[in-house]
């Protein structure tokens, strides 16, 4: 049953708020860290899945704390979690702000902050950038995701201060500099965000969503951008937290969804299938009980140009049930820690973490659980999605240099090419 919606939250997208704060890693410090700050240190590998799921929720809370009015990327701990105004992750830098089309420096981290609210612009309708070739790590395996109202799902990526400053210092905002780079090694406490958004309608309970006002790209029936945009209110439906705390070079991967995306699912031993358990009083954003074909990409994998009409809904179900540890953490936070705030309408799907982070013989740290899928971002590859293994193959575009589990460098532009084009 849908939980009672008590407040409205207006914000943008995320990444790893307060990730640049460095605290002493000890058990006492863990207990003393205020909820408004990112948790001091991750669990030990011996602590198990439940500890990592709690860690994910702590990050989610810290990221959604009201932001400081004067310092980009930091919380205002004097305000309660439920306070209105920008949240911490609203104040981070988007990938488009880092990788400018002209390839020039994006400037200091603090630049442009405090000038008042702005309307973001979103053009992406696949999880990876429009400038990156479609591959298995992208949303829909090359397709898009249309909700049950016939509107596309939009995507944004953000990074925190540690991630941003590393790129700035090493001039990696300009694709021309990639050829001189060795393997990328992002610093401890670096973080990325991947967020999925749907257009809210009058019938939607906007108060139950993290929202933002954006200028979104419009598309024709074939999915081709028309060059036009429209201002809409978006509701957050999917949220990846990708964080690199000290001691975990393979990163920790947390993923959240809005509770009304799709119904919970259970394994039915009688049919040997995972089946949905829809609630009667919820109008799900991506689920259609009468649909005969679900979880299918709108485009043919063999021919990405062979697609359904862009407005045809793509109904989904959850193919991997939420694990018991995550459900326990969800209950603890939804009914106690964040009750009465917009965060009670979100649920942790899973936390993927390396069980052998310091063992070079373990491929990508031997992550667990094996499957990690958000229905809004790994919609059509839910049964095979493994965040660590996929991102472990990331390289600087066109090169062999590893990019430290990040595909964002694929959004970089060449300053030389831009200048040549301007002279024509």
Q: What is the per-residue pLDDT for 174?
A: 97
Q: Which of 7-11, 98-102, 218-222, 287-291 is predicted least confidently? A: 7-11
Region 242-250: what's the mean pLDDT? 97
CB 192 within 8 A of CB 184: no
By three-state DSSP, how is residue 31 classified? Answer: helix
Q: What is the pLDDT of residues 292-333, one digit of tens each?
A: 999 998 887 667 678 889 999 999 999 999 999 999 999 999
pLDDT-above-70 percentage for the chain? 85
Residue among 76, 77, 81, 67 nearest 13 (CA) = 67
Region 244-273: what's the mean pLDDT? 95
Q: Cβ neighbours of residue 283 under 8 Å, at least 6 residues apart?
A: 148, 203, 260
Q: What is the per-residue pLDDT for 301?
A: 67
What is the C-alpha radius of gyration for the chain, rounded to an integer number of angstroms? Answer: 20
Region 399-412: what's the mean pLDDT? 96
Residue among 347, 381, 386, 394 nearest 369 (CA) = 386
Q: What is the per-residue pLDDT for 302?
A: 65
Residue 224 banded pLDDT, cuts 50, 70, 90: confident
By three-state DSSP, how is residue 1 classified? Answer: coil
Residue 151 banded pLDDT, cuts 50, 70, 90: very high
Query: How are beta strands 120-122 and 210-219 bridged, if at all?
Result: parallel
Instruction: Round to whole Å and give the CA distance between 340 and 82.
Output: 8
User: Tokens at residue 369, please?
Assistant: 């659980």
Instruction: Round to whole Å and give the CA distance between 298 and 310.
Output: 8
Region 142-157: what's the mean pLDDT? 90
pLDDT of 239 over the 50 cut:
yes
For tokens 């257009």, name the residue. Answer: 199
Q: What is the pLDDT of residues 379-393, one digit of tens each?
A: 999 999 999 999 999
Q: What is the per-residue pLDDT for 117?
A: 52
User: What is the DSSP annotation of 340-382?
Assistant: TSGGGGEEEEEEEEES-TT-TTSGGG-EESS----TTTSTT-T
Q: What is the per-residue pLDDT for 28?
A: 39
Q: What is the per-residue pLDDT for 10?
A: 34
Residue 116 banded pLDDT, cuts 50, 70, 90: low
Instruction: Round to whole Å and give the CA distance between 22 and 33.
Output: 11
Instruction: Round to whole Å and give the CA distance between 310 and 304.
Output: 13
User: Tokens at residue 248, please?
Assistant: 């975990």
User: Tokens at residue 92, please?
Assistant: 């981070």
How large is the angle between the packed helices 49-63 and 324-332, nearest 10 degrees? 40
Q: What is the per-residue pLDDT for 115?
A: 58
Region 38-63: what's the mean pLDDT? 96
Region 239-253: what's the mean pLDDT? 97
pLDDT-above-90 percentage for the chain? 72
Q: b vs e for 326-360, b when ≥16 Cβ sit within 10 Å of the residue's Cβ?
A: beebbeebbeebbeebbbbbbbbbbbbbbebbeee
List, in sequence order, every residue forming a beta bridge with 346; answer none if it has no partner.
258
Residue 119 banded pLDDT, cuts 50, 70, 90: low
Domains in the chain: boundaries: 9-125+150-264+321-423
Give the containing element (helix H, strand E) for 161. helix 161-169
């Amino acid at each position: 049953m849908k939980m009672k919606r008590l407040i409205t939250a207006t914000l943008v997208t995320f990444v790893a708020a307060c990730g640049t704060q460095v605290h002493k890693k000890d058990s006492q410090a863990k207990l003393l860290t205020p909820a408004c700050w990112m948790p001091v240190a991750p669990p030990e590998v011996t602590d198990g899945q439940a500890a990592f799921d709690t860690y994910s929720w702590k990050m989610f809370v810290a990221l959604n704390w009201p932001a400081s009015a004067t310092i980009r990327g930091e919380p205002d701990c004097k305000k309660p979690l439920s306070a209105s105004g920008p949240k911490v992750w609203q104040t981070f830098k988007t990938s488009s702000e880092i990788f400018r089309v002209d390839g020039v420096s994006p400037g200091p981290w603090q630049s442009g902050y405090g000038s008042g609210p702005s309307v973001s612009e979103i053009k992406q309708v696949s999880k990876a950038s429009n400038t990156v070739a479609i591959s298995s790590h992208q949303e829909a395996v090359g397709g898009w995701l249309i909700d049950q109202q016939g509107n596309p799902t939009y995507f944004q990526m953000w990074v925190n201060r540690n991630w941003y400053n590393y790129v700035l210092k090493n001039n990696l905002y300009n694709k021309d500099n990639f050829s001189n780079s060795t393997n990328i090694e992002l610093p401890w406490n670096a973080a990325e965000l991947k967020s999925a958004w749907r257009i809210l309608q009058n019938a939607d309970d906007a108060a139950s969503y993290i929202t933002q006002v954006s200028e979104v790209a419009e598309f024709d029936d074939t999915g081709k951008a028309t060059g036009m945009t429209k201002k809409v209110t978006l509701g957050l439906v999917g949220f990846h937290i990708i964080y690199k705390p000290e001691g975990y070079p393979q990163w920790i991967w947390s993923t959240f969804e809005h509770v009304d995306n799709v119904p919970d699912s259970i394994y039915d031993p009688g049919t040997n299938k995972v089946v949905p358990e829809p609630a009667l009083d919820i109008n799900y954003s991506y689920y259609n009980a009468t649909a005969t074909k679900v979880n299918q990409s709108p485009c043919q994998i063999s021919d990405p140009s062979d697609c359904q009409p862009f407005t045809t809904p793509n109904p989904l179900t959850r193919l991997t049930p939420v694990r018991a540890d995550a459900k326990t953490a969800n209950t603890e936070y939804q009914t106690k820690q964040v009750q009465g705030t917009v965060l009670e309408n979100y649920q942790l799907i899973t936390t993927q973490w390396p069980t052998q982070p310091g063992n070079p013989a373990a491929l990508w740290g031997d992550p667990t659980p094996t499957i990690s899928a958000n229905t809004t971002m790994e919609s059509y590859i839910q049964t095979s999605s493994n965040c660590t293994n996929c991102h472990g193959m990331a390289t600087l575009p066109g090169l062999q240099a590893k990019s430290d589990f990040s595909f964002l460098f694929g959004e970089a532009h060449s300053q030389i090419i831009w200048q040549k084009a301007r002279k024509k």
